[in-house]
Amino acid sequence: MSTALFLITLIGLLAWLWLDGARARELATQLAVALCERRGLQFLDGTVVLRRVGLRRTPEGLRIRRMFSFDYSREGSGRHTGWLILLGTALETVQLDEPEPAAMPPEPPADPEGKVVPFRRPRD
């Protein structure tokens, strides 16, 4: 009787881990897509890859910590790897080799005599 109960508990635990991992992967994909869109990057392959799994003790209790990697491209050239770490379902860390987009510098004052040629091209 105890062997059957142990097997049922083990199968239930494995099913829970598999479903929780699938949910975390889906969340990581959504976060990576949103991050790439916000920074003007192209998210490649439409997926993330689980690289590492571990446990982390938090004030709320034990949480599963997962590290995912994803590929992206800037302007369609080259392939770069980004990383994100989920602690449970909360985003802990994101790492890209792209700098945070900076605010546009102010426009130079207009030249009333028309003698200064601007060096910047106007952006769309």
pLDDT in tens, 67-96: 999 999 987 778 899 999 999 889 999 998
Kindly state the average pLDDT of the residues 102-108. Answer: 54
Mean pLDDT over the full length of the chain: 83
19 burial via Cβ count (<10 Å: 0-12, 13-18, 19+): exposed
Helix, coil or strand: residue 61: strand
Residue 80, token pair as written in the block = 């770069």
Residue-level pLDDT at 77 = 75
Residue boundaries of the structural domains of the chain: 23-95
Kindly state the average pLDDT of the residues 16-33. Answer: 92
What's the whole-model pTM score? 0.70
